[in-house]
Amino acid sequence: MAVGIFDSGLGGLTVLDAVARRLPQVPFVYFGDNKHAPYGVRTADDIFDLTCQATERLWAEGCDLVILACNTASAAALKRMQDTWIPPGKRVLGVFVPLIEALTERQWGDNSPPREVAVKHVALFATPATVASRAFQRELAFRAIGVDVEAQPCAGVVDAIEQGDEILAEALVRSHVEALKRRMPHPEAAVLGCTHYPLMEKAFQDALGAGVKVYSQANLVAESLTDYLTRRPEFHGPGQVSKFLTTGDPSNVSSKATQFLRRKISFQAA
């Protein structure tokens, strides 16, 4: 039964790829709001409204469980959605918590007080809206103490990926890593806090150096979703068919998705 995957554009395909490999029996409906990407420069109200619209579209496809495979939406909209908007019988989950659990070496559902962890200096690369929300630091503080987080807003990277310009995206990654390392010369770990960024993971790793552990969300979210559906099978929705939906031009979005994932992806108009 279908599960929805939402992103502002192409980035969530990295999550979809990982969860589809882990759960081959589950149909997934992917919704990319390419018309309004990037979200990272929008206001919190804008992000909330657009994310709610996309979530409702996925519910209409029979996806009672929707994963916000978009850190900006997870940071700026998810808590407000959960507090004020999501009706009984539906669930919307974000992508921050699985990553933070991995970083702090906690199991799902470990609600013990925050404690010292091995990693002390963490570089966070994210969109301007995610950085401004401080959602990553807030979630981390529930689980760990004594961790220094240096956040770098990576303006332009999502735009370059959405435009299919890998050369520009790689150049921007190097520039943002250099800017962060001027403030934190020796990070122990780096968090790719946008689901577009795993498409540039090699560029981040090369710029950071081999000694920095890079945390990318796709496989962590796949593990967490597998566990969630095992515990909560009622949130397998009634949908039966996998499909890719976009608010952008389906032909253009399909071409760019195919370029980045190195396999044929065909989008339909949402």
Which of 52, 63, 70, 154 is flagged as catalytic?
A: 70
Q: What is the pLDDT of residue 33?
A: 97
pTM: 0.88
Say if residues 186 and 162 touch (Cβ distance below 8 Å).
no
Q: What is the pLDDT of residue 96?
A: 85
Which residue do the tokens 């240096």 mark?
150
Task: State phi, psi for 125 to the nearest 5 degrees.
Answer: -105, 120
Q: What is the pLDDT of residue 108?
A: 64
Helix and strand totals (H; E) in the chain? 12, 12
Q: Identify whether 52 is a catalytic site residue.
A: no
Distance separating alpha carbons of residues 236 and 182, to the nearest angstrom: 46
Which of 52, 63, 154, 194 is flagged as catalytic?
A: 194
Distance separating alpha carbons of residues 158 and 192, to the nearest angstrom: 12
CA angle 200, 51, 71 (to 5 degrees): 30
Q: What is the pLDDT of residue 261?
A: 80
Mean pLDDT by 10 residues, the chain (270 residues): 95 93 96 94 95 98 96 93 96 90 81 91 95 92 94 95 91 98 98 91 97 91 92 93 97 91 92
